[in-house]
Structure 1
Amino acid sequence: MTAAERGIWLDDVASRDDLSTFAERTLRLDDAAVVRLRQRPDGNIVAWVGTGFDVLASRVVGGTVRPTDLCVGADGLVGALSAMAASGFVEPGFAMDSAWRGVLPPESGFVHLDDVPARAVLDLAERGAALAKEHSSAHGPPASLLDQEVLAVSSGSTEVGIPMRCVFALTAMGFLPPSGSEVGAEEIVRVRVHPAWLRVDARFGTVYRRIGDPAMVLR
């Protein structure tokens, strides 16, 4: 593949800004983070990253990526996006496919369980942050806090618990506004489930938690 055949082509400045925000948030969690970019048939790109909570985060932006599955360093991506050409072309830098560990969720097969008020999720995040500050060590929040299921969502005979890990990942990636005053009473967080994955969709992005074998998720 020649240099001209390899790259990222974004639809507009808004797509660039969205992807840049995603990469910058990623760097706050891990300064050596790798972002995985995958092409969707609908003409969009899905950006993936491991959050450090044993939870994957993703955001969709308009554009094209070649090859159709590409891993790049988050730090290099931030710099490349700031230098995006007028055509929308972004130089992806060195390929880092070998640095990606774990598996990605499937694109389909998720069942909608229920919607949760976004304000309730933000409230849980604030209380969790206070507890984490009180009990954290040099290694971060205790696993007992991260694994605590803070929401139970059900539909029919199916019930799933949402751990604090997912709540922290949503707020750390900026997928919800930072304060309840910016969230309307009608705003929701949508919960979907797959036999192997839990999926939580918020305004600015989605987080996924592996069910049964979270160690398969990029850390």
Structure 2
Amino acid sequence: MTALAERSLAVPSAADRDDLATFLHRAIRLDEAAVVRLRRRGRDRVETWAPTGFEVMAVRVVGGTVAPADTTAAADAVLASVRQADSSPFELGFSMDSAWQGVLPPEDGFAHVDDVPAQVLVDLAKRGVELASEHSQGPPVSLLDQNVLEVVGDGGRAAIPMRMVFALNAMGFAPDSLDEAVRVRTNRSWLRLDARYGSVAVNRTARLPLSVR
């Protein structure tokens, strides 16, 4: 087991620390007991993954380093630390590996299908919220599973379900603008939407539980 002092994250840029704090805040807003998974990307980038409550994962990439190279932590503990941090490494608290469920998509191997105006997805989310408000127990599975947009391009064909639109909107990843584009990418098993402020991904072949227990 990795000692507490050996579990650390360093985010040198103040702007990146602000971005990470915003990401963590939104993840906690969706689940106050959220657990995040931090994974090193290359030499000086860190991916922070979080469940969204829609069986969709969200990720934000910032400049920095993490030790160990793939680890988990309580989102609220990381948020409290990053809000007080400077460019020096700070501790992540206790490992939450046993609380993480689900696998992460691979870093590579995705084909670019096409780009979608961000405003189209924002408008779809607004309409979805209106429909969901008719149900006191939250959005029904039938609404979440409904494919609301189909994208066709050189990279193939992709049907985007409402659950991904909800997740992208809930995390605030896509600006409400026709000038902004959201990139749609796929591989054999995963569908991914890459927006200005982060990405969401879903396993198309078998959605695994992505919440924590």
1:123 aligns with 123
* Matched ranges for 1:139-154 at <5 A: 140-154=138-152
* Conservation of the 8 A alpha-carbon contact between 1:55 and 1:217: no
Q: Deviations over 1:84-140 (max 9, x none)?
A: 1x3432221111111101100001110000011111111111111111112x232x2
Instruction: Report deviation, 1:158.
Output: 2.7
1:201 to 164, 169, 194: 194
What amino acid is aligned across from residue 20 of structure 1 in structure 2? A
List runs of 5+ in structure 2 lacking aligned partners. Answer: none
Q: Distance in 1 between matches of 2:4 and 2:141?
A: 44
Instruction: Report deviation, 1:20.
Output: 0.7
* Conservation of the 8 A alpha-carbon contact between 1:152 and 1:161: yes
The TM-score normalised by the length of structure 2 is: 0.94
* Conservation of the 8 A alpha-carbon contact between 1:175 and 1:205: yes
Query: Any idea what SS the aligned residue of 1:176 has?
Result: coil
The count of corresponding residues between Structure 1 and Structure 2 is 210
1:155 aligns with 153
Percent identity reads: 52
Query: Any idea what SS the aligned residue of 2:64 has?
Result: strand
1:15 aligns with 16
* Conservation of the 8 A alpha-carbon contact between 2:7 and 2:93: no
Q: Distance in 2 between matches of 1:93 and 1:2?
A: 10
* Conservation of the 8 A alpha-carbon contact between 2:113 and 2:151: yes
Q: Which runs of 4+ in 1 moved over 3 A?
A: 1-5
* Conservation of the 8 A alpha-carbon contact between 1:50 and 1:217: no
1:103 aligns with 103
The TM-score normalised by the length of structure 1 is: 0.91
What amino acid is aligned across from residue 120 of structure 2 in structure 1? A
List runs of 5+ in structure 1 lacking aligned partners. Answer: none
What amino acid is aligned across from residue 109 of structure 1 in structure 2? G
* Conservation of the 8 A alpha-carbon contact between 1:154 and 1:160: yes
Q: What's the Cα RMSD here?
A: 1.5
